[in-house]
Structure 1
Amino acid sequence: MQVNRNASASSFGWEFQANAAVVLFVRHIRQASAVRVEGARDDIEIILEDGSRVYCQAKARATNNPGEGSTTRFYQALETLKDDLESPDCDAILYVTNDDHPFGKTYDIAALHEDAELHFSELSDEVQDFVKGRALEAGIKADDLGKFSVRVIGFYGDDESTRRRIIMRHVENFLESINCLSAVQLNKTRLRSQWGQMLQENSSKLDLSICISKKEFIWPIIVEACEVSHDDKFFDECDEDLVGDVLCAFRRAIDSQSERFSLTTKILSDYQDYRRACDGSRSRVKTAFIKDSWKNYIGELGADCLDEEEQRVLSGLVISKVINRGHLIDSVRMEVGL
């Protein structure tokens, strides 16, 4: 039997699980409030705004042979999904795999190849009979299959770009759906990596109540949109040593915003109030606002330990980036339902 040469089956499965969680969460993002990987009941749990959950069993094929072992993986998934159905907060159950033949080679469903999701009612009569039979064996009532769907996410290959191409397609489609791709140049690969790391770290939390909120999940988009470098024009009149210190402080501040969108909301609201009371071009008003208001955000930026010049430049940089990306920030919040 040939196996993936880059990783063991278990580590490959962990990687698939985290990347599948990215795809599933962005799919439900407008109705969701949080996601948990390795939750109290299932591999991936999507928590919806009304408190109900979509329970997902993720099973990966690590061999080079599509369909090999797929029926066993499906039976194993049903055992857990049966228990999920008994939870009063169960909105839906989902079997997600990277195998184009999720129910075995006998049932070749072309519509499920590589990247697709089908509800139980969308399966052919033959496949429905197969799923129903296996579900009944697992203790799932036929009426409960109205909550069942199957999802295939292509995820295989030694080359990372090949293995993750479907995941990247979903990331790009999601960013386009919330009007991000046309607004700014985002590092989509780095964003996917950040999401994957967040979800993998979430799976290691012993407290199973710890989830990744929608705000936490979306925040890296704002971080990417507010990316800053040494040659940013904001630093034109700054000493080189100061620039380095402020860049480090900026990254710490923007990465560790525990309330995520609260500071951006405050800055944008304060700026709009200031702008209504001032005359002049947008550029002049922004410059005046930074000069008059930079001290107001030092505490929230965690910059109390910096000297006054570093505080001034750091706060001014954050204000400038937030104002420049204000339309994008508001658009993202609206599109994802924050």
Structure 2
Amino acid sequence: MGDRNASPSAFGWDFQANAAILLMIENIKQAEKIRVEGADEDIEITLLNKEKIYAQVKAVERPENYTHVIDKLTAALETLNLAAKNGDGKLFTYVTNSPNPFNNQKIMHYFTGNTHLDFDELPSQAQKRVLDLLKEKNYDDLDVNKMDIRVIPFYGRDLKNRYKEILSSIDNLLADASIDVVGVNREILRIWQRDFFQNATIPDTEISITKEKMMWPLIVLVVDRVAANDYKKDFDDDEVDEIENNYKMVINQQTLLYEFVTKVICDFIQAKLSVKKFINANWENYVETISMVKADDHTRKILIKIILHRILTQRNNISNLKKEIGL
């Protein structure tokens, strides 16, 4: 039987995109946007203060093969040193999936599992190796005090195993926002993988994924999964189900619109009414937002009530997520 593994380059792209997701999640509060395959590095995260996190990502297909790990480290230091010349770097990260990134059996235990170590936390042998490489190659611009090493376990044909650390980072984000919704982690991972892969293929490196663009699909998924159905008491269940099915994209798009969601929640807070009373008294104020929908007035009425109800019944989840991600 032939080898069914993806090509080395495809595996590397997969690791790069998923590493970008993990790094963006871990820096989400301070982040403004992310670019995969940036002008200078494999991953570039622009922070709110305009400083950047530069990351070089090097994958090995077989974790037990340490043959080229020093070559990969050396290549990473070269490009990180070049990025340091820009003068806007807050952090310079080397990311790998090798459990032995310094090809030194004596210090392998430092890199077991998902590992994140600043330069001064590295074992002395690893620090010396980095410093020796920088000196040997005359890489004088990279400040090791702004450098860290990331090891993300990422291997195997079983995608559930390969992506387990990325899924764990999503679970941590949801847990920090006090959200417990089954299945959302895998669904949002698929969306983010698609978006990050696509971002890497765009030649214009100025085109990035903003924090808002990345995170609002997660909010939509959470709202969609746990939205209550009290509005069905006012209409026929079958009729509501049909409208939800026929206009699912419209419902999701409206729930995704940051400005619209913010306006609805602000209006609701000012009105000081229950959710049901607010919707019944104010739904007509928002019908214009679905003016593009070709439907009769009755259908539009139900549709806008569904949208408003989903936003308002899930405002706590929305608020918790927005707070956790810094929106």
TM-score, normalised to structure 1, is: 0.87
Does the aligned pair in 2 maintain the 1:71–1:103 contact within 8 Å? yes
The residue aligned with 1:319 is: 308
Question: Equivalent residue of 1:57, what SS?
Answer: strand
Residues in 2 aligned to 1:297 and 1:185: alpha-carbon distance in whole angstroms = 31
Question: Equivalent residue of 1:41, what SS?
Answer: coil
Residue type matched to 2:135 in 1? L
Q: Quote the offset at 1:220 in angstroms.
A: 2.0
Q: Quote the offset at 1:298 in angstroms.
A: 3.1
Question: Equivalent residue of 2:143, what SS?
Answer: helix
Residue type matched to 1:189 in 2? R
Give CA deviations for 1:270-314 in whole Å, capped at 9, x if unaligned.
Answer: 112222xx5xxx3xxx22322232232234346443332222122
Q: Write out aligned runs for 1:176-215 (5 A).
A: 176-181=175-180, 184-185=181-182, 187-215=184-212
Does the aligned pair in 2 maintain the 1:95–1:150 contact within 8 Å? yes
Residues in 1 aligned to 2:32 and 2:250: alpha-carbon distance in whole angstroms = 25
Q: Quote the offset at 1:65 in angstroms.
A: 2.6
Q: Quote the offset at 1:232 in angstroms.
A: 4.8
1:264 and 2:261 are equivalent in the alignment? yes
Q: Write out aligned runs for 1:300-319 (5 A).
A: 300-301=289-290, 303-319=292-308
Unaligned runs of 5+ in 2: none
Does the aligned pair in 1 maintain the 2:255–2:307 contact within 8 Å? no
Is 299-308 or 51-60 further displaced after alignment? 299-308
Residues in 2 aligned to 1:169 and 1:256: alpha-carbon distance in whole angstroms = 29
- How many pairs are equivalent? 325
The residue aligned with 1:21 is: 20
Does the aligned pair in 1 maintain the 2:60–2:98 contact within 8 Å? yes
Q: Quote the offset at 1:252 in angstroms.
A: 3.6
Equivalent in 285, 310, 313 of residue 296 of structure 1: 285
TM-score, normalised to structure 2, is: 0.90
Q: Write out aligned runs for 1:228-267 (5 A).
A: 232=229, 234-235=231-232, 237-238=235-236, 240=238, 243-255=241-253, 260-267=257-264
Does the aligned pair in 1 maintain the 2:41–2:79 contact within 8 Å? yes
Residues in 2 aligned to 1:211 and 1:4: alpha-carbon distance in whole angstroms = 35
Distance of aligned partners of 1:85 and 1:229 in 2 relative to their CA distance in 1, 3 Å threshold = closer
Residue type matched to 2:252 in 1? I
Does the aligned pair in 1 maintain the 2:219–2:318 contact within 8 Å? yes
Unaligned runs of 5+ in 1: none
The residue aligned with 1:52 is: 51
1:126 and 2:115 are equivalent in the alignment? no
Residues in 2 aligned to 1:130 and 1:123: alpha-carbon distance in whole angstroms = 11
Residues in 1 aligned to 2:278 and 2:228: alpha-carbon distance in whole angstroms = 23
Identity of aligned residues (%): 28
Residue type matched to 1:326 in 2? R
Does the aligned pair in 2 maintain the 1:234–1:317 contact within 8 Å? yes
Q: Quote the offset at 1:268 in angstroms.
A: 1.0
The residue aligned with 1:337 is: 326
Question: Equivalent residue of 2:107, what SS?
Answer: coil
Does the aligned pair in 1 maintain the 2:227–2:313 contact within 8 Å? no
Q: Quote the offset at 1:114 in angstroms.
A: 2.3
Question: Equivalent residue of 1:109, what SS?
Answer: helix
The residue aligned with 2:217 is: 220
Distance of aligned partners of 1:222 and 1:254 in 2 relative to their CA distance in 1, 3 Å threshold = same
Distance of aligned partners of 1:233 and 1:274 in 2 relative to their CA distance in 1, 3 Å threshold = closer
Residues in 2 aligned to 1:97 and 1:132: alpha-carbon distance in whole angstroms = 19
Question: Equivalent residue of 1:108, what SS?
Answer: helix
Distance of aligned partners of 1:129 and 1:206 in 2 relative to their CA distance in 1, 3 Å threshold = same
Distance of aligned partners of 1:154 and 1:261 in 2 relative to their CA distance in 1, 3 Å threshold = same
Residues in 1 aligned to 2:269 and 2:227: alpha-carbon distance in whole angstroms = 29
Residues in 1 aligned to 2:227 and 2:295: alpha-carbon distance in whole angstroms = 19
Residues in 1 aligned to 2:137 and 2:236: alpha-carbon distance in whole angstroms = 67
Q: Quote the offset at 1:137 in angstroms.
A: 3.0
Residue type matched to 2:306 in 1? L
Does the aligned pair in 1 maintain the 2:81–2:142 contact within 8 Å? no
Q: Write out aligned runs for 1:65-104 (5 A).
A: 65-104=64-103
Is 140-149 or 215-224 further displaced after alignment? 140-149
Residue type matched to 1:223 in 2? V
Distance of aligned partners of 1:311 and 1:168 in 2 relative to their CA distance in 1, 3 Å threshold = same
Q: Quote the offset at 1:176 in angstroms.
A: 0.9
Q: Quote the offset at 1:164 in angstroms.
A: 1.1
Is 239-248 or 53-62 further displaced after alignment? 239-248
